[in-house]
Amino acid sequence: MMTAYILRLLILLPLVAGMAFATLWLWRKLQPGMTIGARERAVKVVDAVPMGAMGRLAVVEFSGKRYLVGVSRGRMDLIAEGEIPDGAVDHAG
């Protein structure tokens, strides 16, 4: 009787763990509201550099311009604005 229990446990435990892993993997890939595959985005983060423990500087492209933005916990500040340079390489896609 104990052997049958251990045998069932050895079969069902990896099966349940595999189903949990597959569910979490699918949830990450197909998050609600997200489309499958790549799409053109209106906003692109070109580069981001950590600045201290909680902040970072980010270069963001939007509407044909680049913006240097300071991002910290609960706050974003526009630092500078400029044109997209000729020959700029798109790192996001």
Q: Encode pLDDT of 39-88 as tens digits.
A: 677 888 889 999 888 899 999 999 889 999 999 988 999 999 998 887 76
85 and 63 housed in the same domain: yes
- Count each helix (H run) and each strand (E run) in the chain, helices first: 1, 4
Domain extent for 62: 40-93
Distance (Å, rounded) from C-alpha 16 to C-alpha 82?
Answer: 53
55 close to 70: Cβ distance less than 8 angstroms? yes
45 close to 59: Cβ distance less than 8 angstroms? yes
Q: Is the pTM of this model over 0.85?
A: no
91 and 55 housed in the same domain: yes
80 and 53 housed in the same domain: yes
Distance (Å, rounded) from C-alpha 8 to C-alpha 6?
Answer: 5
